[in-house]
Amino acid sequence: MRIQMLGLCRFSYLGGRGFQTAPDSLEERRAYLYDPQRLARRWFWFEHVTLPSLLVQTDPDFTLVLMTGPDLPDPWLSNLRELAGTVPQFRLALIPPMESHLDACMAAVAPHIEPGADVVGHFRQDDDDAVAVDYIRHARRDFADMRQLWERKRRLFCDYTRGVVLRVKPKGITTELRITHHASAALTVYLPPDAERCVVHYPHWQVGALMPGVALASRPMYVRLLHHDNDSGAVGPGYRTPVQPESFEPVLAERFRIDLAALRDGTERLLAG
């Protein structure tokens, strides 16, 4: 059985709807999204939180669509072009502003769906969150245990609920190991290749009402970075695990290839500037 793993990462995409806090008019959204200081923060977090684990996945058989607008300012557009040109799994999708955010996301993803796949494992990769180095391997392997459930409706989700939440505070970054239900990070939505849908068609906070699914919490599988630039700063339903690591540096380094000290130092400099 061929399971294609296909992710969507929206990097400051300029379009309509789809976000909770974006201004109303296109020009106001452009000014907000393309503010140089904001883009510098987003790129720093993308480089230091999101990218490290994606570049060393234990199963490298996946595609990640980097979606942005054709007028994203440099150097960030050039940076995305360079990534798409050097990382075999990355594809750059330049989508002009569209009022329907779902249509825009589908325009980015559709060219990369394998029509010959039996199942497509869609995932949403926010540009300031991370998945574990073995996320792709587990999302593909664990589907075998869920296949009978998939056959009922030919759509299914797998929610890896254990992860690390990093909160950017005025005096640093706090760390917490949590169980979070239906977070966007490390949530896989399995669809047939002809579904004409992708992961954003199923809001992560409502996914349990839209299809059957499974929650797995045996290992930390995601990092969520919460800060004032978030579209939504809510951590989501769940709870702090009773046992917390004595130090988060080894967990973040081994599972996500995140250097917590460098992340803290760089974030402090960006916020001070």
Compute the distance between CA of residue 90 and CA of residue 42 in angstroms, rounded to an integer: 18
Spatial CB neighbours of 38, under 8 Å, sequence gap ≥ 6: 12, 32, 229
E strand intervals along 107-234: 119-124, 130-131, 156-160, 162-169, 172-180, 187-191, 213-216, 222-226
Q: Encode pLDDT of 23-73 as tens digits.
A: 667 888 899 899 999 999 999 999 999 999 999 999 999 999 999 999 999
Q: Provide the pLDDT for residue 51.
A: 98
Find how far residue 118's CA is from the centre of its chain.
Answer: 23
Rg (CA), the chain: 18
CATH code for position 178:
3.90.550
Tell me the pLDDT band of 273, cut-offs 50, 70 and 90.
low
**Counted domains in the chain:** 1
pTM for this prediction: 0.94
Q: In 10 A of CB 163, how many CB atoms? A: 28
Q: Is residue 198 over pLDDT 60? A: yes
The H or E element that residue 93 is part of is strand 90-94
User: Which two tokens mark 252?
Assistant: 């973040």
Tell the burial category of 75 from Cβ atoms under 10 Å away from its Cβ (0-12, 13-18, 19+).
exposed
Could you read off the pLDDT of 63-101 as tens digits, one per residue?
999 999 999 999 999 999 999 999 999 999 999 999 899
Look up residue 146 and give its two tokens. Answer: 């869920």
Model confidence over 99-112: pLDDT tens digits? 899 999 999 999 99
pLDDT band (50, 70, 90) for residue 119? very high
Task: Provide the residue range defining the domain that includes 218.
Answer: 3-272
Please tell me whether the peptide bond between 75 and the residue prior to it is cis, using omega within 30 degrees of 0: yes
What is residue 246's three-state secondary structure?
Answer: coil
Q: For helices 260-272 and 36-45, what crossing angle results, to 10°?
A: 180
